[in-house]
């Protein structure tokens, strides 16, 4: 990692060690641009795929994904720092972790690593739970917030 990402902090190794969840994908030919590497916009799709898989692992998609669910997640902001080129055929392991929990939102961090174990990108984003009917932020239920906080504590232990 190269120090451009203020959200990582001073101890990059500690930051990298706190990821428990990993989503692997293989770069497809159609994701390559005219310069021979993965188009920069595709990395946001990789983060999205990993984020949804992470939500499933937490059981959040049971509610958010059900018909008639009152609450849905929306991306409030999303940032990516590109470190190395990603090439056709590469394996990319996208690691995701909860970093911070608010009353109706949480901050996620992403760490993209190639098959050689080298960082290819880092990222972060804020997800807000909103009411489908009002479009306004909706506070976490106590049980959900406790589950999310436990996940952070476990990763940092």
pLDDT digits 0-9 by tens, 130-151: 999 999 999 999 999 998 999 8
Of 25-39, 107-121, 141-155, give the lowest mean pLDDT range.
Answer: 141-155
- For 53-104, what is each residue's pLDDT tens digit? 999 999 888 878 777 889 999 999 999 999 999 999 999 999 999 999 999 9
What pLDDT score was predicted for residue 155?
Answer: 86
What pLDDT score was predicted for residue 82?
Answer: 97
DSSP, residue by residue, 28-80: -GGGB-TTSSB-HHHHHHHHHHHHHHHHHHHTHHHHHTSTT-SEEEEEEEEEE
Average pLDDT of the residues in 18-38: 96
How many Å apart are CA 98 and CA 50, to the nearest integer?
13
Examine the pLDDT at 3 and tell me if it is beyond 70.
no
What pLDDT score was predicted for residue 65?
Answer: 74
Tokens of 89: 């055929």
Domains contained in the chain, CATH given: 6-156 (3.10.129.10)
- Give the model's confidence band at 4: pLDDT under 50 very low, under 70 low, under 90 confident, else very high: low
Rounded to the nearest integer, the mean pLDDT of the chain is 93
What does pTM read for this prediction?
Answer: 0.92
Tracing tokens 């720092």 back to the chain, one arrives at 81
What pLDDT score was predicted for residue 94?
Answer: 99
Beta-carbon contacts of 118 under 8 Å, excluding residues fewer than 6 positions away, are 84
- For 37-46, what is each residue's pLDDT tens digit? 999 999 999 9
HSE toward the beta carbon, residue 37, CA cutoff 13 A: 9
Average pLDDT of the residues in 114-130: 97
What pLDDT score was predicted for residue 88?
Answer: 95
């Amino acid at each position: 990692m190269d120090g451009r990402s203020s959200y990582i902090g001073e101890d990059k190794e500690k930051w990298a060690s706190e990821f428990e969840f990993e989503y692997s994908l293989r770069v497809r030919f159609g994701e390559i641009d005219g310069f021979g590497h993965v188009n920069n916009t595709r990395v946001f799709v990789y983060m999205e795929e990993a984020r949804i898989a992470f939500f499933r692992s937490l059981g959040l998609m049971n509610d958010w994904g059900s018909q008639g669910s009152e609450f849905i997640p929306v991306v409030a902001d999303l940032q990516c720092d590109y470190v190395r080129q990603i090439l056709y055929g590469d394996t990319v392991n996208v690691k995701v972790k909860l970093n911070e929990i608010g009353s109706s939102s949480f901050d996620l961090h992403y760490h993209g690593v190639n098959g050689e174990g080298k960082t290819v990108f880092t990222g972060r984003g804020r997800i807000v739970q909103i009411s489908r009917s009002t479009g306004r932020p909706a506070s976490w239920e106590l049980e959900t917030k406790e589950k999310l906080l436990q996940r952070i504590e476990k990763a940092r232990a």
